[in-house]
């Protein structure tokens, strides 16, 4: 454990995930205020934080529950008292459908949902639930443009709806219509266009289901980059933003609509300067955090201070060079970095150190760290 409640921030072991509680609480509040005038439900995506305590605070702020990506990821949240969990992903293969049905059976009072995009999966889920005497909510995943999963036609949606209806232990809830790749399109106009198309398709799919005598109570989707578009679409009934609570360098590059809420970076990597060289040839500070402390898939981390450029990142090192005025970064000093991509970064850590006014208030477990199954 990198710290204990009451420790000074300066005494936290490194590299560690540090959460600025004031900024985090501000993010939760700004999201809820922004969507409050609309009748959408908020179901934050927990894949970005994997932390039961954060989910509890999201629910306390008004969220209806959370999203997860995997059965094993849903497990600690259900065990931790989050009573409404949607796995926004397909669960394929009898080993996995058995695990999911068993999880549902262990939490009969909770609401647990999953996505499908293939009729064989519907049959397998239905049989697993029957066997386990469990019930699952099912959402048909609609491919609204990412071409990653989901079906792309109304006919396929209706066929899946009928297949779900034929299963005694599955309940058709509606549509998963998340446009993943649209979240990071930098321009507002591009994102607006993407979500307009997604909304049109989702509406047609819902009408298809209703026209076939099937139900479609919920259309769920939307992430941190687009959720205001889904919120005001008149079609989506639920949004799934995740990164808004913590933020990252990648999301902060998006162009912002002035009418949308702005979220602060609340999660940082606390590092230590572990090697320092300053002579005629180089002015270099090396930090003790590398690819095992933050991921670089969506670009480099961002220093929270000026005057330094990240030259390279290896397994356990970040090498920085001085390029202007900024802090000295003496040996042992503890600079903060903003991770490039929050989800795979949090997944590297066992603990989140929650800090207020430079003092550790709590240390939370990253409960679903490594939950890939």
Residues that bind its own copies (CB under 8 A): 2, 11, 13-15, 47, 69-70, 89-93, 95-96, 117-118, 120-121, 143, 147-152, 180-181, 272-277, 281-282, 284, 286, 288-289, 291-293, 295-297, 312-317, 319, 331-332, 341, 343-344, 347-350, 369-370, 372-373
Instruction: Identify which of residues 33 and 277 has a Cβ nearer to its own copies in the complex.
Output: 277
Residues 6+ apart with CB under 8 A from 128: 94, 97, 98, 100, 101, 134
259-277 exposure pattern, b = at least 16 Cβ within 10 A, e = fewer: ebbebebbbbbbbbbbeee
The torsion angles phi and psi of 252, rounded to 5 degrees, stand at -75, -5
Least separation in angstroms between CB 205 and its own copies? 16
**Burial of 8 from C-beta contacts in 10 A (0-12 / 13-18 / 19+):** exposed
The token duo for 329 is: 């970064």
- End-to-end CA gap in the chain: 25
Between 261 and 288, CB nearer to its own copies: 288
Residue 304 CA: distances (Å) to CA of 78, 213, 308, 325, 355: 36, 55, 10, 13, 16
Nearest-angstrom CA–CA distance, 71 and 94: 13
Give Cα 319 to chain centroid, integer Å.
29
> Residue 23 or 43: which CB sits closer to its own copies?
43
Instruction: Choose between 34 and 251: whose C-beta lies nearer to its own copies.
Output: 251
Cβ nearer to its own copies, comparing 24 with 178 = 178
Calpha distance 65→76 (Å, rounded): 13
Q: Which is nearer to its own copies, 35 or 246 (CB)?
A: 246
Query: Which of residues 253 and 292 has its CB atom nearest to its own copies in the complex?
Result: 292
**C-alpha closest to that of 183 among 222, 221, 225:** 225
Give one DSSP letter per residue of 189-204, joined into a string.
Answer: HHHHHHHHHHHHHHHH
Kindly state the helix (H) or strand (E) to which residue 66 belongs, with its residue range.
strand 66-68
Cis-peptide, bond into residue 15, ω within 30° of zero: yes
Closest CB to its own copies among residues 35, 73 = 73
């Amino acid at each position: 454990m990198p710290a204990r409640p009451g420790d000074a921030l300066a005494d936290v072991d490194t590299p560690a995930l540090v959460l600025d509680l004031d900024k985090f609480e501000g993010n939760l509040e700004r999201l809820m205020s922004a969507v409050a005038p609309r009748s959408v439900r908020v179901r934050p995506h927990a894949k970005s934080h994997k932390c039961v305590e954060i989910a509890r605070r999201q629910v306390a702020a008004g969220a209806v529950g959370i999203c997860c990506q995997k059965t094993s990821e849903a497990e600690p949240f259900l065990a931790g008292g989050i009573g409404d969990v949607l796995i926004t992903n397909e669960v394929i293969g009898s080993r996995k459908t058995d695990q999911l049905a068993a999880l549902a059976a262990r939490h009969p009072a909770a609401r647990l949902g999953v996505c499908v995009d293939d009729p064989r999966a519907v049959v397998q889920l239905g049989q697993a639930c029957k066997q386990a005497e469990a019930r699952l909510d099912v959402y048909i995943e609609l491919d609204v443009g990412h071409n990653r999963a989901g079906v792309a036609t109304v006919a396929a949606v209706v066929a899946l709806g009928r297949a779900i209806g034929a299963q005694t232990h599955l309940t058709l809830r509606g549509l998963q219509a998340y446009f993943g790749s649209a979240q990071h399109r930098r321009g507002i106009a591009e994102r607006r266009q993407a979500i307009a198309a997604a909304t049109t398709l989702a509406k047609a799919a819902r009408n298809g289901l209703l026209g076939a005598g099937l139900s479609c109570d919920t259309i769920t989707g939307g992430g941190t980059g687009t959720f205001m578009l889904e919120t005001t679409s008149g079609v989506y009934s639920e949004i799934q933003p995740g990164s808004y609570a913590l933020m990252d360098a990648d999301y902060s590059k998006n162009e912002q609509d002035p009418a949308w809420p702005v979220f602060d970076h609340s999660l940082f990597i606390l590092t230590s300067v572990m090697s320092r060289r300053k002579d005629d040839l180089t002015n270099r500070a090396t930090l003790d955090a590398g690819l095992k402390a933050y991921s670089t898939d969506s670009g480099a981390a961002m220093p929270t201070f000026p005057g330094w450029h990240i030259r390279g990142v290896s397994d356990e090192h970040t090498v920085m060079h001085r390029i202007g005025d900024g802090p000295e970064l003496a040996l042992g000093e503890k600079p903060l970095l903003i991770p490039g991509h929050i989800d795979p970064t949090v997944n590297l850590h066992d603990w989140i150190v929650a800090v207020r006014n430079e003092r550790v208030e709590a240390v939370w477990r990253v409960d679903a760290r490594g939950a890939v199954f």
